[in-house]
Amino acid sequence: MRNLLVILLCLLLNINYLYSQTRFEVSGAGRSYPIAIAELCQLNPSDSVAKEVPKIFAKNFDLTGYFNVINPSSYIETPGKCDDESFAYSDWSSIGVEGLIKGKVQSSGSKYKIKLFLHDVGIEKEIFGKEYTVDKQNINKAVYSFGNDVVKHFTGTPGIFGSKIVFSGKVGRFKELYMMNLDGSKLKQLTSDRGLAISASWGYNKKDIVYTSYKNRNPDLFLLNASNLGTKSITNGSALDIGGKFHPSTNQFLLSQTTGKDSDIVTVNSSGKIISSFNKGNGAIDVSPDYSPDGSSIVFCSNRGGGPQIYTMDTYGSNVKRVSYTNSNYCTSPVWSTTGNKLAFVCRANGGFQLFVTNTDGSEPLQLTNSGQNEDPSWSPDGKYLVFSKNFSSSNNSLAIIRADGQNLKRLTKGSSGESDPSWSKIVF
Amino acid sequence: MKIKNYLLVGLLVLLGACTCGTKAGNIPYPTEGTVLKDINYSYDSFALDSEATARLQSNYQWLKANPGSNVVVEGHCDERGTNEYNLVLGANRAKAAYEYLKSLGMDANRASTISYGEELPLDPGHNEAAWYKNRRVHFDVQ
């Protein structure tokens, strides 16, 4: 009888744990520069780091769409080989590898010294090498740093390994904010608001997030510190405050505020006081605003012309121009690219919502998806990719990325918590 | 055997206090209106049709007869459309119902409005019948 009670007790504690620690799995596949990452030479035995590092590299290179990670099962060289002098480039060129990462790891007290080297197999030369000293839980940071340098070597611009994505996921019947690295690692629940935590957007550093929460039983804007999880109220009136965005340089927030039949784009200071209000009282639904990266323009969705379409305007509310010309009667969720030259938004098409990218004047619209529900796009820090929510199967949403040219659709999460509303960090951590 | 009893009591206390996905929370459970009837809307619209106004009139009569009760007017949408746009549409629906009740004579302070967009569907189905049920304003009596 006592054993039964003990078992029941453990079960209860585990159920609580499960509700606050939902697990996600990540899947993907790749192409282009053939690359290989050899198992590291391990200078102290009995550790998994030498095997872990190549896996982290592989997952991240694969997500870029610019690298074809050659399957380790075809490697000829002895895994974990430590003797540099007798390392043969032909072991790699013969299996089609162009870029080769090799390295060594040595534990030193509670830390690890990791040396990583990039080799050009074609010219049989080491291109560069770096050394990192990290705690065990920060091994991935060494990988991300080196990986971004490798991406820069091959593509001309640094990679975005180690950038973070904040999103909403279901915890029981509630929606809470989560954060994860691009490759799905270091998943962390950020809120316990026991309501709806939605519409999150990163600021311009490693900690600032603005989001909408129902924790005070009304949709209000809050500031969240992603590092210590502290929150601060920004707005607390009876209006519906959503779509909060940081201004690139001042301490102001852009959002849409709905008080009556009207919904207006407004800017507020950190105490929620309205600084500017655009087109108040025009009777239209103006929603989902975003700043251009220099803060001089705003893109937003409005139904002032009938159905919802995308418009840009300056920060005085003048020079309003429609920029959605996609033969759709319903376009929304616009976001301005981090490099300033493109807009992304979604429009109703092909029986659902599809992603579109255009120039900032609305010219040359490109449709990126053509089936299912694709919502809430957010740009990568280098302006090359979009993360968005997609329903891969008929009901559950999960997160996916796609390159802005429409290539490289990759699934990021499994959908077990209906992942939605993603925002990509503006910096690489 | 006293230890067994304490363990049992401890378990029951834990069960009672257990917050794993139970009622305590800052959003309501989606329920169909009983005392005050839900009203429904057309797709993408916050206009009140004749059935809606009839129900609002009867809801107003109840409010008149029960002056001690206040109400939260919740606006909801079906799952089509984007989350953000639907939050606004839900707010518009709630406001339309609220304004109509006020026009009948309800004191402005007796009701507040809130939108849950598509987040709290009454019917989890993906068909016209479910969508119709979800495009609603619900009156939560306080």
Within an 8 Å CB–CB cutoff, is residue A300 touching chain B? no
Instruction: Select from A255, A187, A248 the least CA-distant residue to A220.
Output: A255
What contacts A174, CB < 8 A, 6 or more positions away? Answer: A193, A194, A195, A196, A197, B25, B27
Is residue B116 situated within a structural domain?
yes
Residue A230, Cβ density class (10 Å: 0-12 exposed, 13-18 middle, ≥19 buried): exposed
Q: Does B109 score more than 50 pLDDT? A: yes
Report CB contact under 8 Å: A219, B114.
yes
A213 three-class SS = strand
Report CB contact under 8 Å: A242, B26.
no
Report whether A331 contacts A374 (CB < 8 A). no
Query: Which among A174, A285, A333 is the nearest to B82, CB-wise?
Result: A333
Distance from CA of B67 to the nearest CA of A (A): 23
Distance from CA of A93 to the nearest CA of B (A): 49
Phi, psi of B109 (to 5 degrees): -80, -5
In chain B, what residues touch A238 (CB-CB under 8 Å)?
112-113
Residue A167, Cβ density class (10 Å: 0-12 exposed, 13-18 middle, ≥19 buried): buried
Say whether A164-428 and A33-155 share the same fold: no
Report CB contact under 8 Å: B114, A308.
no
Q: Which tokens sit at A265? A: 């784009």
Query: Which among A175, A256, A261 is the nearest to B95, CB-wise?
Result: A261
Residue A17, Cβ density class (10 Å: 0-12 exposed, 13-18 middle, ≥19 buried): exposed
Residue A73, Cβ density class (10 Å: 0-12 exposed, 13-18 middle, ≥19 buried): exposed
pLDDT at B13: 56
The CATH number covering residue B105 comes to 3.30.1330.60
Query: What is the percentage of chain B residues whose pLDDT exceeds 90?
Result: 76
Within a 10 A sphere around the Cβ of A15, how many other Cβ atoms? 12
Q: Encode pLDDT of B39-53 as tens digits.
A: 999 998 999 999 999
Is residue B77 situated within a structural domain?
yes
Is residue B107 situated within a structural domain?
yes
CATH class of A33-155: alpha beta
pLDDT at A12: 52
Query: Which among B26, B84, B89 is the nearest to A243, CB-wise?
Result: B84
In chain B, what residues touch A261 (CB-CB under 8 Å)?
46, 92, 95-96
Is residue B52 situated within a structural domain?
yes
Within an 8 Å CB–CB cutoff, is residue A306 touching chain B? no
Instruction: Report, as ranges of residue numbers, the positions in chain A whose pLDDT lies below 50.
Output: 14-31
Within an 8 Å CB–CB cutoff, is residue A10 touching chain B? no
Report CB contact under 8 Å: B21, A19.
yes
Report CB contact under 8 Å: B112, A9.
no
Report CB contact under 8 Å: B85, A301.
yes
A68 three-class SS = strand
pLDDT at A22: 27
Which pLDDT band holds residue B3 (cuts at 50, 70, 90)?
confident
pLDDT at A110: 87
What's the number of domains chain B is made of? 1
Mean of the per-residue pLDDT values of chain B: 89
CA angle A10, A14, A19 (to 5 degrees): 155
Q: Does B4 score more than 50 pLDDT? A: yes
Beta-strand pair A385-390/A398-403: antiparallel
pLDDT at B1: 61
Report whether A290 contacts A378 (CB < 8 A). no
pTM of the predicted protein model: 0.89
Residue B17 or residue B81, greater confidence: B81
Residue A251, Cβ density class (10 Å: 0-12 exposed, 13-18 middle, ≥19 buried): exposed
pLDDT at A23: 27
How far is the C-alpha of A313 from the C-alpha of A276, rounded, in Å?
13
Q: Does B5 score more than 80 pLDDT? A: no
Which A residues in the span 312-371 are in contact with B, Cβ-Cβ below 8 Å?
A: 330, 332-333, 346, 353
How far is the C-alpha of A239 from the C-alpha of A233, rounded, in Å?
14
Q: Tell which of A17, A173, A290, A353 to mutate to test the B interface (max B CBs under 10 Å).
A: A173
* Spans of all domains in chain A: 33-155, 164-428
Q: Which tokens sit at A271? A: 């105490």
Torsion of CA A329, A332, A338, A340, to 10 degrees: 40
Report CB contact under 8 Å: B21, A216.
no
A262 three-class SS = coil
Q: Tell which of B9, B23, B77, B87 to mutate to test the A interface (max A CBs under 10 Å).
A: B87
Instruction: Select from A65, A179, A67 the least CA-distant residue to A424.
Output: A179
How far is the C-alpha of A12 from the C-alpha of A7, rounded, in Å?
9
Range of the domain at B110: 30-62+69-141
Torsion of CA B97, B100, B106, B112, to 10 degrees: 30
Phi, psi of B62 (to 5 degrees): -65, -45
What contacts A261, CB < 8 A, 6 or more positions away? Answer: A283, B46, B92, B95, B96
Q: Does B113 score more than 80 pLDDT? A: yes
pLDDT at A392: 85
Pick the CATH number of A164-428 from 3.40.50.2030, 1.10.3720.10, 2.120.10.30, 1.10.10.10: 2.120.10.30
